[in-house]
Each structure stands twice: as C-alpha cells, then as structure tokens.
Amino acid sequence: MKLLTFEENIRNVILKRGMTYYREGRVDNVVEMPGNRFAGVVAGSEVYEVDCKVDSSGVILYSYCTCPYDLSSVCKHEVAFYLYLRNTLEVVKDSGEKDGAGMRRVLLDVPKSELVDLLMLLADEDDEILLEIHRFLER
C-alpha cells in the first residue's frame, strides 16, 4: 500500500476518525530509525504506539499499532500516523507522484462514489473546502 494513496484501502469510518486524530495533532514523538522505520505515539482514548516502515518509493512495508482494534488491518491511529508521515517525509515529497499529473492519474482510477465520499469527508472537516465545492457547482 502506498503512503500517497493509502486511503483507497481503508474503510471510511476508520479513515474519518484517523483524519480527525491527525488534524487534532494527536500524533506525537515521531522518530525516524535506521532503514526508513518510524515510530511514534497517537493519543486516542489511551496513548498507543505506532511503528511503520516505508520504502524509498513511499510503499508502506509494514505497520503496527498497540491498540486492541482487530476488525481490519489498519486502525485509526495508523491512519493518523500515515497522514503525519505523508506530510513530513521527503521520500513522498520528492517522488514526483504528488505533482498534478500523477495525482490526476491516481484519481481517475478511484470510483466516483469514493471520490464523493472523500469530498464530503473533507467538506465536513473544513468550511473552506465546502465553499469551494459550492463555487464549483455554481459554474
């Protein structure tokens, strides 16, 4: 799973909770260890440790969280951690995949219903995005 597009693989409810945790600044004490391994803590109902390894092309090789969640392979704490890494790692910023053409290519492969879900999620979290959507629809 790529750090740049991991949302495609996460249930919406988990994605939304993880995004909220990230935006609230609940990711802390992130350290980089040898071999592109990262560890940190995410504060939820308790403080949980997250451990993750990302290769040089931005692929998440493994991830682990100490929380008890076991309904899928990724929890909300890992989502928050991935968002933190994606916004701070040079590997992702320099990969060239964040440019407009690369993002467009990725988005064209995402089902319309998932893009609508993402827009609704973002609009719920940010009034500016909601206004931009309204402006776009008024054209």
Q: Per-residue pLDDT for the chain (139 aa), expressed as one digit of tens each?
A: 999 899 988 999 999 999 999 999 999 999 988 888 999 999 989 999 999 999 888 899 999 999 999 888 899 999 999 999 998 875 444 444 445 555 666 677 677 888 888 888 888 888 888 899 998 889 8
pTM for this prediction: 0.66
Which pair of tokens denotes residue 78?
């890992």
Taking only Cα atoms into account, the Rg of the chain, rounded to an integer number of angstroms, comes to: 16
Q: Is 15 helix (H, G, I), strand (E, B) or coil?
A: helix
Rounded distance between C-alpha atoms, residue 105 and residue 84, angstroms? 23
Which contiguous run of DSSP H or E holds residue 41?
A: strand 37-43
